[in-house]
Amino acid sequence: MALEDFNHYQLVVHEEFEQYNRWFTNSGLDKLQCPRPKVVYSYLTAAATNVSPKLHEARLSWAKNGILSCVIDDFYDVWGCEEDQIELLKLMEKWDVDVNKERCSETVKTLFLALKGTICEVATQAFKLQGYCVLSHLIQLWVDVLRSCFKEAEWVRSKYVPTIDEYLSNALTSFGIGPIILPALYLVGPKLPQETIQSVEYIRLYEVLSLYGRFLNDIHGYKREKAQGKLNSITLQVIHGSDQVNEEEIINKMKAAIDEKRKELLRLVLEEEGSKVPRECKDAMWEMAKALHLIYKKEDVIHAREMPDEALTITDALLCDLVV
């Protein structure tokens, strides 16, 4: 029975992955600067952590928003020009616009339409399950990410050095995990009333998960970013710290912070008494943390040229030939 179940899930995953790839191509995202490993990883993390065949819509929401987060991050961090960065943010803030009548580049048009199409699709699916419109929430999640990414791009252009608190306050959002995990929570099954979305518990779960991911990203990507002249929490601690504190000590301190955030997240996930956040939603957040651990286990594989052996093994198991 276990083999039959796995084969059934493989079939589901094969079909979803083909659907995901078609969406990626039809959206025009394949014409932008997005390495293939990022495309695969975005679906892989969804398929490897949301394993119920019934969670089809949640997986595709996770995967689509995941690759959009990667593309947007690179657009603001690597290859997008300032004019395009401003224009995309303006379009998202306006939202209800006919992009074909706007004076913008094809790149901006492609990104805006991909974002808008995905947001509207997820909002429609969520309405069927939740019974109320979540569109404004989904739009705001992306607007917040674009604003925070643009702020970091402006820091680089102006050579501004933020304080550590200033950086972390912005990096909590610019890490981009909000538009990946939070929309998916509307699709995993249970009702999520507004009072839950606005609760201290829900917000804290998201903040701890985001900081956990940001710290992992910073510790595994700081050498690359340092070589590119970019700042993160490690380089900022070197800049703002005393001469007595060296880079190795800061890295060890960051590793301890990562461990503490993981423990705090687990405590929040396991909390039962007085909890307003449904078990399925908390489990999804924990699965995201596990996915982040996989991504950053040895290096920043999101920016790697090739997928490491461990990821290839999972990819082969899920996406290659069926077990017979």
- Cα distances from 309 to residues 26, 55, 167, 303, in angstroms, run 30, 27, 34, 15
- State the pLDDT at residue 3: 47
Q: Is the pTM of this model over 0.75?
A: yes
> What are the E-state strand segments in the chain?
none
Q: How far is CA 38 from CA 95, 104, 300, in A?
A: 27, 26, 11
Question: Sign of dihedral through CA atoms 150, 156, 162, 168?
Answer: positive
Question: Which helix (H) or strand (E) segment is 231 a member of?
Answer: none
**Structure confidence at residue 318 (pLDDT):** 56
Domain 2-319 coded CATH 1.10.600.10: yes
Q: Which pLDDT does position 221 carry in this prediction?
A: 85
Domain segments of the chain as ranges: 2-319
Residues of the chain with pLDDT under 70: 1-6, 242-243, 298-324
Q: Rounded to the nearest 10 degrees, how much is the dihedral formed by the CA atoms of 140, 165, 252, 48?
A: 0
Letter for the amino acid at 148? S
CA 159 and chain centroid, separation = 26
Helix (H, G, I), strand (E, B) or coil at 324: coil
